[in-house]
A and B are shown apart, each in its own frame.
Chain A
């Protein structure tokens, strides 16, 4: 844990960046006029508003000298990586191999992680999801993907 900038400064900064990006892109849509609003009208108004609010939030944050505790990101990264594994492997590898990998990867984010309970959960979820989503609901989830000859 270490202290970095205040939550308000970061949040406001994020709003300004978001507003700025939305604004720049919206300039090409065509503003139109009040009578005939173009596709750019509403986005330009909104993103300008977002930038203004963002500035106000930053100003408030600077005045308050608030600091933010940022947690260790290791566990969070594992959960995100598990989801990336799902998105990347599901179609080529199939659910029978992908699901256990995803479950164990996600489970390893917890300090209470034990291989035995994680593997048991992985087996249970793989079978349950196969029954519910593929067989009962008819989703195109393949058990065995093309990479392993499915």
Chain B
């Protein structure tokens, strides 16, 4: 069978000592940094992006993915133990997890999170293996008009499902699209927005943009509320109890996995939406919904599985369509392009070792996470108490060196400084940086597909609504942005918390 052959190739690739090492290194470093309070997956991946550039593409990519789910997992540990979710998808984990920890059930919560994530990761990995190839084949039938509309939909969905003002998020995406155009226009050779500066001919370095927006701007924002928080770390006990209550939470884990896998595939989906949705479902299905918020196992296991499943399946649109559904996937696409690989439906056929190796390594990485995290939890706890006043100078130095190392040019560091300042101002003005990064990645691709679509239709712009699939995607995008249904989703999301 085809799938078995492919998986065999994948494991062959992922199990070479070199790749095994980079998978392990990625998972370990990712967890290590993800555990630090206030650092979610996006800044972690952004900061560590340069580490992967010297490696062969497969190894580099395996390591980056390891960093990603390691950081995702580390964020849950932080959320459970000190109630400081590093990023939005861990918010839900903190709801029940921290309550459990306060009742002396931290070990149970951590074990539950680990096992739930592992089960979800395993199933989600299988789903990627099964679903990605046919989807990529279908995507090969897409014309430029479909692609353009798909990208519009992807951007809008990512915006609509994020928190905050939709209008400002759209503006940020447009700024990102424009910034993505800086550099030499591939079609005409015209320099756009380069001001004759040689360092800009290839465009703005994604590393400088991502680190400025996600790492440094975040440091600056944390300086706003400058009191040093005294984190109280919950005692860990009862890891074994977690394994016992596993059968009770199994239903929640599987439901969470299903929800996460489904929502992760959708453009704009991913970990955050999945965990919120799963929490809502668990609460609705529960016999005693009023106990939610006081440390209910189901309310932890479901969302924790969902966010891991969603994180994994968000690789599907990235690998098959070249479409980033969240900032981390945008960074992954950036990494692929730096290695000279154009993400899209051709990756599976042209780079089978990369694709299947990555999938196999995801599963191996999930095994490593469980093996690594349960025994090492004591070490992570010590990291949690690492004071922020020493952490942030470290972040500043690492980002500067990281950006410098990317191109060996100080120009990019100056760029980083500029982007950090502007990024901080934008965050202060309550504009989210994520859509900007997505737009930055999609800008050149959207322009190219738009140009081709118009050329094929002899300059007739109605092509986007005449082709049924393209029209459907634009329609969905339109609905997402205007429909009052959106405010219903929002209200419901708030309700989850308000009721407690």
Residues of A within 8 A of B (CB): 7-8, 10-11, 14-15, 18-19, 22, 25-26, 29-30, 33-39, 41-43, 46-47, 49-50, 53-54, 56-57, 60, 68, 70-71, 75-76, 79-80, 82-84, 86-87, 90-91, 99, 102-104, 106-107, 109-113, 117-118, 121, 125, 129, 133, 137, 139-141
Contacts and interface: CB of A to CB of B under 8 A. Distances in A.
Contacts of B417: 80, 83-84, 87
B223 A106 contact: no
Given A25-B193, A117-B390, A139 B408 contact: yes
A37 B389 CA distance: 51
B276 interface: no
Contacts of B389: 107, 110-113, 117
Nearest to A33: B459
Interface residues of B, number: 65
A8 B317 CA distance: 33
B167 A125 contact: no
A26 B171 CA distance: 18
A76 B223 contact: yes
Interface string B437-448: 000000000110
A123 to B, nearest CB: 12
Contacts of A141: 401, 404
Given A46-B178, A50-B171, A39 B459 contact: no
A121 B429 contact: no
Contacts of B404: 90, 139, 141
Interface stretch (B98-106, B243-251, B419-427): B419-427
B420 to A, nearest CB: 7
B394 A90 contact: no
Given A39-B187, A50-B171, A50-B178, A83 B431 contact: no
A84 B414 CA distance: 7
A14 B408 contact: no
Q: Would you list the 7 A-B pairs with minimal beta carbon distance, nearest first?
A: A35-B459, A110-B389, A106-B393, A34-B459, A112-B389, A11-B429, A39-B190
Given A75-B223, A139-B405, A80 B460 contact: no
Contacts of A60: 167
B461 A34 contact: yes
A60 B165 CA distance: 11
26 contacts: A7-B428, A11-B171, A11-B426, A11-B430, A14-B426, A19-B174, A30-B188, A34-B461, A35-B454, A35-B458, A37-B447, A37-B451, A42-B451, A46-B181, A47-B178, A50-B175, A57-B165, A75-B226, A79-B220, A87-B413, A111-B228, A111-B389, A112-B388, A121-B390, A137-B54, A137-B405
A112 B168 contact: no
B420 A39 contact: no
Interface in B171-195: 171, 174-175, 177-178, 181, 185, 187-188, 190, 192-193
Given A37-B451, A137-B54, A110 B388 contact: yes
Interface in B428-480: 428-431, 446-447, 450-451, 454-455, 458-461
Given A11-B430, A54-B171, A112 B192 contact: no
B405 A11 contact: no
